[in-house]
Amino acid sequence: MVYMMEYSEDMTGKVCIVTGSNSGIGKETAIALAEMGGRLALVVRSREKGETAKNEMVEQTGNSNIDIFVADLSEMEQVQSVAKQIKDTYEKVDVLVNNAGAIIGDRQETSEGYEMTIALNHFAPLLLTYELIPLLAKSESARVVNVSSAAHSFGDVDLDDPFYRNSYGSMKAYGTSKLMMIMATKELATKLEKLDISVNAVHPGFVRTNFGRSNAGLGSKIFLKLTSPFQRSPEHGAETQIYVASSPEVNGVTGKYFADMKEKKPSKKVGNEELRKAVWKFSNNILGLDWDNQIQSVSVSA
């Protein structure tokens, strides 16, 4: 299968990391990048499923240059651990696709005390990007692609109760996590411009995968069932993130939100600078991230 070659460039020699890549749109994204010649790093939760996906990719693309890394990305300690493994394996990273995410039916907390949806969908991509800055900075023009959702439009950030201890709804938490992700994308783009690292968010569309079907609440499951005739295939759903990860048309574009392979305007909430900066400060304080120091250390060592 040939993916959108008219939009893409030769990825030979480029290291491409895709999280949540053993199934769904993450898998299709990895297949596309492998077809273009990229060296793939699959970050998955299950080694068994990762090996199965890798074997299918090798058979389909003829590209055996695929590595597997295992981590539960809802746990920040494991995010840091897998980042270290990646740094020990590669000299640079050219593309990071933060694809892994979930809708969680009943409220859950991670072992570190964070609400699961926010931890997996927002904290993990932010932390993994931070940890991989030294390798991204070694690429000629690295790209970070954050897979968000149009669901961000009904997200509602409440920094007085960021982990929904008082009021939880699976779709509300999901929407909020994706809103926070886009807000962080916009803030981060400004931070990383001097390192020639672009950061963009994408909406893959309403995709027909197993995403959300086992973890979502009853209302969400009913909604997914009723709307199934209108959902895209994983191949179609992956197109926008493949495009933003590889197309020459996106060279130098950063801090934007894409859908259907076009730049789109996100929710007006993203434009609320006061709230956006508050979310940025909250997130980095929780994770203990100092972007200015990280960027400065990379700049000095370059």
Which residue, 199, 18, 187, 11, is CA-closest to 96? 18
Residues 97 and 250: their CA atoms lie apart, in Å, by 15
Q: From the candidates 3, 114, 130, 174, give the one annotated as an active-site residue.
A: 174
Tell me whether residue 174 is one of the annotated catalytic residues.
yes
Q: How would you write the pLDDT of the chain (302 residues) with one tens digit per residue? A: 444 445 557 899 999 999 999 999 999 999 999 999 999 999 999 999 999 999 999 999 999 999 999 999 999 999 999 999 999 999 999 999 999 999 999 999 999 999 999 999 999 999 999 999 999 999 999 999 999 999 999 999 999 999 999 999 999 999 999 999 999 999 999 999 999 999 999 999 754 445 444 454 454 444 445 444 444 455 778 999 999 999 999 999 999 999 999 999 999 999 999 999 999 999 999 999 999 999 999 977 76
Token pair listed for 51 = 């090996």
CATH architecture of 5-296: 3-Layer(aba) Sandwich (3.40)
> For residue 45, what are the contacts with CB-CB under 8 A and spacing of at least 6?
20, 22, 70, 71, 72, 73
Torsion sign over Cα 104, 106, 107, 112: negative
pLDDT at 235: 73
pTM greater than 0.85: yes
Domain boundaries, the chain: 5-296
Query: Between the CA of residue 81 and those of 66, 97, 131, 302, what are the distances in Å?
Result: 19, 18, 10, 24
pLDDT at 221: 47
Can you give 45-104 as a three-state secondary structure string?
A: CCHHHHHHHHHHHHHHHCCCCEEEEECCCCCHHHHHHHHHHHHHHCCCCCEEEECCCCCC
